[in-house]
Amino acid sequence: MLRPMEEVTPQEGQRRVQQGALLVDVREQNEYDEVHAQDAQLLPLSELEARYTELPQDRDLVLICRSGARSARAAEYLMNNGYGRVANLTGGTLAWVENGLPTEGGNQ
């Protein structure tokens, strides 16, 4: 039986990234270009099935989307394919921005 998916707050997600976790944004390119969490790597959910092996299995992964739904699906997919160190960022980019955490893209 798989363990339940871990959910993390934006602050916890940022802390994990500062400690070496990889932040993976699963939105589409145009959404990512508008605004994304600083240091987030883009891997759209639409490409995840074909490209998930590009992600390291030996590193913590924090997945983020707009609000948390797509990243939850991506986290579940990765966990079903052997990734054990996966967390979903609750509230997504909306919560990241709302909490004043560093972003890139758009008109900054």
List, for residues 70-87, the tens digit of each pLDDT value. Answer: 999 999 999 999 999 999
**Phi, psi dihedral angles at 23 (to 5 degrees):** -95, 120
Residue 40 included in any domain = yes
**Phi, psi dihedral angles at 63 (to 5 degrees):** -100, 140
Indicate which CATH number applies to the domain containing 98.
Answer: 3.40.250.10
Residue 107 included in any domain = no
Residue 28 included in any domain = yes
Predicted confidence at residue 107, as pLDDT, reads 55
Residue 38 included in any domain = yes
Residue 92 included in any domain = yes
The predicted model scores a pTM of: 0.94
* Total domains present in the chain: 1
In 3D, which of 17, 3, 2, 1 has the Cα closest to residue 89? Answer: 17
pLDDT digits (tens, 9 = 90+) for 25-68: 999 999 999 999 999 999 999 999 999 999 999 999 999 999 99
Predicted confidence at residue 108, as pLDDT, reads 46
38 flagged as catalytic: no
Q: Which of 65, 74, 75, 87 is catalytic?
A: 65
Residue 1 included in any domain = no
Q: What whole-number percentage of the chain has pLDDT above 70?
A: 95
Mean local confidence (pLDDT), 13-31: 97
Judge whether residue 1 has pLDDT over 90: no
Domain limits at 83? 6-102
Q: Are 77 and 65 in contact (CB under 8 A)?
A: no
Judge whether residue 3 has pLDDT over 90: no
Residue 108 included in any domain = no
Judge whether residue 2 has pLDDT over 60: no
- Cα 101 → chain centroid: 14
Q: Please compute, for residue 107, the number of CA atoms within 13 A of its CA located in the half-sphere on the CB side.
A: 0
**Phi, psi dihedral angles at 51 (to 5 degrees):** -120, 0
- Name beta bridge partners: 46: none
